[in-house]
Amino acid sequence: MVNYYISNNINDIINNTINTGKHMDNMIIKKFVNIIRYNLFNRYHVFKSKSLKPGYHDFDIRMLYLLFDMLVDFVEIELAWMNVCFTNKRPKWPRRWFFRSRKDGIDYLKWEIKQTSGMQLIRANMVKLLYLWWTVYRPQRIDPWDNVKHIDGLLTMDKDSIEYKEFMKQANEADKIDNMCYNEDTEMMKALISIREDLWT
């Protein structure tokens, strides 16, 4: 609360305490204020994935999670706020800074799909499809490698043995499913990027 007050009122605080007659000094102060504001409080330039589990992840996986986490924020924060900001459902003022609602975001998309036409309708349908794919359908995937039996000493086994052949059959099947999932992720990422200029409120 204090951070919010300071970051949004620091210009007034400084202007009231320092002589503002000098234009150059004022510009330097404003630049300094913006450096503090955007590095400590309003960190719009910093993106962190909320759904990626801690640990090492390759760059392609981090990029996928980051893009779709930003889509989730867009739906659950920005579109959800559009759904309530001019209604009685608007939260009391302290909760506005922490407002997030999956239901209101989806309700706004449903309203937008009913009320609009043309490119806006296509965009709303695509946002809803991508959002539901990321939050509902994709998490239901089963890791294909969970069904592959790992046998100790497999690399030293005879390649003609039944165990080795069974393992290779399971591994090839898991690899095929894994590639299909990776390709689906790539197509969904491309679809998200194709509508990025329409993601504004």
What sign does the CA torsion over 132, 134, 138, 139 have? negative
Report pLDDT for 40. 75
- Annotated domain spans of the chain: 1-46, 47-198
CA angle 153, 156, 157 (to 5 degrees): 85
Report pLDDT for 139. 95
Report pLDDT for 30. 81
User: Whole-model pTM?
Assistant: 0.75
Residues 6+ apart with CB under 8 A from 157: 151, 163, 164
pLDDT tens digit at each of 201 positions of the chain? 555 555 566 666 565 555 545 555 677 788 878 778 777 777 776 778 888 988 999 999 999 999 999 999 999 999 999 998 888 777 766 555 678 899 999 999 999 999 888 888 999 999 999 999 999 999 999 999 888 887 666 666 677 888 888 888 988 999 999 999 999 999 999 999 999 998 987
Report pLDDT for 47. 78
The single-letter code of the amino acid at 87 is: T
